Amino acid sequence: MRHSPIVLALLLALASPVAAQDFLQPLQDLVEDLSPRRPAPKPAPKVEPAEAASETKADDGVTEDAPPPIPRPRPAGLGTEAEAPPPPAEPPDEPEATPAAAEPEMAEPVAPAEPAAERVYQTACPALLSGLVVGKMLPPIAEGICGERSPLELDAVSANGRTIPLSSPVTTNCEMAGALAEWTADVDAYSRAAMDSPIAELTTGTSYMCRDRVGGDEGFTSEHGFANAIDLVGFTLENGESISVKDQWQPATAPEGKLLRQSHGAACGIFTTVLGPEANADHEDHLHLDLGCHGQTCTAQICE
């Protein structure tokens, strides 16, 4: 039975390790000579640190090449004209200076609010609304104990279908204005009968005036102080004649005297106070007319 060299070598190795070593060495050399020679592996290219660092592994295990390196600048003088160096970078804009915190302005002192104007409560005058008298409302009058909340400035009255003016405007209350218009209508009718001429104008005297009573108890305020009285000095007729209380009260039998007495009597049915030349010396030149309260029920009248 014939054995191969490899088997014999194994047997010798088992019998004697030393003899086997001597026998196997030539055999290994022979095997190497008979084996086909493989090309020696090429040495791995030297990888630059920059290139090695640029290689990355993809998720599937394939190595991806790094991007090509940036070309180095060409030396001056080679090829075309040397590229101009990049312009120097502009210096960064200086940050705008933050303005210093403005000092808080001192708030201007606020003027105290003006108190709301007090509402004026006045009463409308029916005689003025209906045209029985001609005039206008005035602001309230307040003068110590005197005054009137709804005074009128009276310029004329309407009587018997005509407007009869006053010689000068008077300040009175609404009640006196209406009463004066009523009384003027009566006087105008008497004048037509006695003098054959109607009244053209009323000659007026004192109206509003803050003072005490004249010719009466001391310490009492006159009705003039409440715009509740009017003094009548006389009349002017349409025929141009003037009739004066002072000059024509007497003689009583004269047409002028009769007209003045008829006027006095008519007033006693309309006003609560009527004072004329026969009351006292203080009223010798006029007729005092007012709507003052007399008696507990204000229904008493004084007619002198």
pLDDT for 46-73, tens place per residue?
545 444 444 444 444 444 455 556 656 5
Q: Which of 302, 285, 286 is closest to 294 using CA atoms?
A: 302
Residue 242 lies in a domain: yes
Kindly report whether the peptide bond that precedes residue 251 is cis, defined as omega within 30 degrees of 0. Answer: yes
Residue 162 lies in a domain: yes
Pairing of strands 63-64, 146-148: unpaired
Residue 37 lies in a domain: no
Q: Which domain does 171 fall in, by range?
A: 130-303
d(CA 6, CA 99): 100
Domain count, the chain: 1
Tell me how crowded residue 82 is: count the other CB atoms within 10 A of its CB: 12
289 φ/ψ angles, rounded to the nearest 5 degrees: -125, 130
Q: What is the pLDDT of residues 191-240, one digit of tens each?
A: 999 999 999 999 999 999 998 887 655 678 999 999 999 999 999 999 99
At 237, is the secondary structure helix, strand, or coil? strand
Residue 30 lies in a domain: no
Residue 206 lies in a domain: yes
d(CA 159, CA 156): 10
Q: What is the pTM of this model?
A: 0.62
Residue 113 lies in a domain: no
Q: List the chain pLDDT tens, one digit each, 304 residues.
A: 555 555 565 665 555 555 556 555 665 665 565 555 555 555 555 545 444 444 444 444 444 455 556 656 555 544 444 445 556 566 555 555 555 555 556 667 777 777 777 778 899 999 999 999 999 999 999 999 999 999 999 999 999 999 999 999 999 999 999 999 999 999 999 999 999 999 999 999 999 999 888 765 567 899 999 999 999 999 999 999 999 999 999 999 999 999 999 999 999 999 999 999 999 999 999 999 999 999 999 999 999 9
Beta bridge partners of 63: 57
d(CA 5, CA 179): 171
Residue 2 lies in a domain: no
Residue 96 lies in a domain: no
Helix axes of 5-15 and 17-34: crossing angle, nearest 10 degrees: 160
